Chain A
């Protein structure tokens, strides 16, 4: 969650970008990943192993100009990233290793870039 303007940042190599400067909103998700052993036991009770909670942060970038896109493209094109965010469960800033999906934007006019969305997904359980 955002508790101040610097509550979400992403680092690739030596480059760290404060996402608060670029995004319109951020959606924090905490998906549970269940093992294949999950099912009902002999008593009929649901049983299973929780592999873990793998946080997923989906951000919507505002319309970015050429320079801004150039700045963040390095982040978005990288295989993995290190994302720092404030975790309300742990009540502290958490650094997680992430991967992202494809990113895309639309140009309606010269230098007029559309907004776009991308998710940072934790590679390890929280």
Chain B
């Protein structure tokens, strides 16, 4: 409320009131009603908008444009005007009325400074908080921000980048005022100028009645004792609650304070008793210094009529609560009080043309039919996926707001300001002719007083926000299980659509961003696996980031008759030959990457153990990869009985009797010493029912470098043994990597309670473990612990189902892993069999769906990894790396290019035969090569 006295409130409605007006300029000169013919202050706004106040006036005084002045309305009270401050304005427009010899002025408050184009902040950088953003806008506008140190809804939320300029920081045509409009919604208030010309966030203000006595909070049957603070039971009285007052100020009741019976007690801000006044049979009292509250008793019959006011005058009775005006303040025309809005319990944030909306309710789970909502549409700041957080704080501020829509003409009130909540009490006649007094709570949003020789004031409030009835397509929050949204970023000229899981931008999602110059699509499985396709008029750009977590790669088959002919060791690659370890008998191949006096780059050399030197071969790198490829890759092995397809590896045995083992190894992979858990899994289907099929994960210490002598360095292994027909099933185990098993042996329990104790005191040694609950050493049966000949302890466990064996030496640290697959014949010949194995994966932590290794990308038709690119369609395939280009047609190698050599199985040629003379023309690079010969010779 504008500052005014209770006398003003009474006198403004009185017949014969006398009014005044005053416009004061910066030099303190002023013009009054002698020169002012009419004044029209204007307040027209909506809830949660920036609000610029206007003022039109007509005067016979010529005032310059941009003149700064203050307007005050005066009401004569006891021949002295009481001035009501309407704040400061600038003359923005003027027109001369030739007929009346006067000037008509259009004026606005200082918020008019915001009516300029926003080209980005002059001060401050993003990201910044909402409060900082408002502060920096105020700096730009040279306006003081009154709430710069205050907390208010969403004040500390961070705005990552300037939403009102484009990606290059160029203007999008917004005005500062547009931004203040949207910021008003963000902070759940109305941004406006206060009478001190500071930019203020104005919130709904519950005005106070002139009556300070609340009859609903009295303590009945009590009054104050003679000590001034103790309660004295007396059924004739009620005792007021603590009434907040100002210190050293006079207050007056509408009945006298009967001496002793109505004594008044004064309390400090902590409601601690200070002193008291016995009443003295007068209506007024003055509060002592430091007084914050008063209490007193009154006779019960005064409960509904007693009134306490500030000052020394008493005015007509008003109930405690909101400031209230009645029919005496209203004209007898245009009095409309329509439907009630509220209590507000739902905030909706809408974007993308209201197609994408979220909401918050109070209480949290509010039935749809009970929701009364306020909708905020297309707010650029609350356009991201954290808008649910914004929404909650807005709701927290506005929940419970209720008021009646209204439109009425008043004889003049003038002291209500923006967002004041007040009551209008009027007598109304129902259909039966009964007159009842109805009270309507009103919110000040639109005010149009006309002040000339007289005063009338039109006040109205429309329905705020937008009516909402359909929640079926809304989600409560963007962070629901499924994120699905479309954002129209008008300022950036783009539409973003998104479908993702609840993990948000770090999770799994697909996103499409449509701009005027093109379309970007993103498919992300996680932050490591992302495919981005950017399509523009210039073409298509594909960016793929695939960081698979699979540790297994390059599984290598090892030979056995009837299964597979190829048998290669991993191919070494480097500028110089790899070291050959003593005792290693396997064939070693080396791909030379740098030409020297001895070796040629691009050639694959084979180590000759007899001559003990590296000799060049005709192998291509692809030849190795064809058999040493990952079991989970997309490739075709040239052997008819063995092939890799999709994510599985199928071995089809042709029935030839054999007792040889079959198996494969993967490349060894390093295991990080910082990891705690390794997960190993694969899928397998087998028709083998004689003998055993096993998949093994072997774990080695760091001394192991070659599989030949693996037993010496094997730390442990995990077997999954399949000895019967199995359908495709997933085998999975999580392995603790750094556990250490210590076993103390002796006749008495060890000092360390964390180790195991091999109790040797009895007839038979018993392994025991300390039980902290019973504080005793108890027999420890699971897992079984065995002791080997080297005096090392192992665990040996058979898990349920009998398919998994684990052998483990806990005292040795694991640093390498290798996957092996084998058929263990146990001396039995193999029958016909089909074994499918795929999706082999070793990874750290908990198991996840199969994925490739880092930098490997697979699809149905192509594979990209460290080896090269393979494109495949049906039986045709093209392989490309930095020094090879190989083409296959119907699984047959048709050509390859390696170094400077070109091989072609078939070349196009034209053939003619003239009288037995055959001429062949071979076209190579546009040149014709002719070969002529005589047919049959």
Contact = CB atoms under 8 A, between A and B. Distances in A.
Interface of A: 32, 35-52, 124
A43 B18 contact: no
B455 A46 contact: no
A49 B453 contact: yes
A62 B411 CA distance: 48
A49 B327 contact: no
Contact of B331 (A35, A42, A46, A51): A42
Given A36-B453, A47-B411, A51-B453, A41 B16 contact: no
B328 interface: yes
Interface in B1-59: 13, 15-19, 34
Contact of B328 (A37, A38, A45): A45
A96 to B, nearest CB: 13
A47 B19 contact: no
Interface string B418-444: 000000001100000000000000000
A49 B331 CA distance: 13
Nearest to B18: A50
11 contacts: A37-B411, A41-B13, A41-B329, A41-B411, A44-B332, A47-B13, A48-B454, A49-B17, A49-B19, A49-B453, A50-B17
Given A37-B454, A41-B411, A48 B331 contact: no
Contacts, number: 63
A107 B335 CA distance: 62
B332 A41 contact: yes
A41 B426 CA distance: 12
In this complex, the member of A36, A38, A42, A48 whose beta carbon has the largest number of chain B beta carbons within 10 angstroms is: A42
B499 interface: no
B15 A47 contact: yes
B326 A35 contact: no
- Is the interface on chain B under 10, 10 to 19, 20 to 34, or 35 or more residues? 20 to 34
A39 B331 contact: yes
B258 interface: no
B335 A42 contact: yes
B722 interface: no
B454 A36 contact: yes
B332 A52 contact: no
B456 A37 contact: yes
In order of increasing CB-CB distance, the 9 nearest A-B pairs are: A35-B454, A37-B454, A42-B327, A49-B454, A43-B327, A42-B330, A35-B453, A50-B16, A51-B453
Contacts of A32: 16
A7 to B, nearest CB: 23
Contacts of B455: 35, 37, 49
A57 B452 CA distance: 27
A124 B456 contact: no
In this complex, the member of A36, A43, A52 whose beta carbon has the largest number of chain B beta carbons within 10 angstroms is: A43
A42 B330 CA distance: 5
Nearest to A53: B18
A39 to B, nearest CB: 7
A40 B327 CA distance: 11
B18 A52 contact: yes
A49 B328 contact: no
Contact of B332 (A36, A39, A49): A39
A114 B784 CA distance: 146
A75 B471 CA distance: 82
A41 B328 contact: yes
Contacts of A51: 18, 453-454
A42 B332 contact: yes
A113 to B, nearest CB: 38
Given A49-B19, A50-B18, A42 B328 contact: yes
Nearest to A90: B79
Contacts of A52: 18
In this complex, the member of B18, B34, B426, B453 whose beta carbon has the largest number of chain A beta carbons within 10 angstroms is: B453
A48 B328 CA distance: 11
Contacts of B411: 37, 41, 47
A26 to B, nearest CB: 26
A104 to B, nearest CB: 30
B328 A47 contact: yes
B751 to A, nearest CB: 95
B15 A45 contact: yes
B210 to A, nearest CB: 19
Interface string B809-836: 0000000000000000000000000000
A50 to B, nearest CB: 4
A38 B453 CA distance: 10
Given A41-B330, A46-B15, 6 more contacts: A42-B330, A42-B335, A43-B427, A44-B332, A47-B411, A51-B454
A102 to B, nearest CB: 24
B576 to A, nearest CB: 104
B84 to A, nearest CB: 15
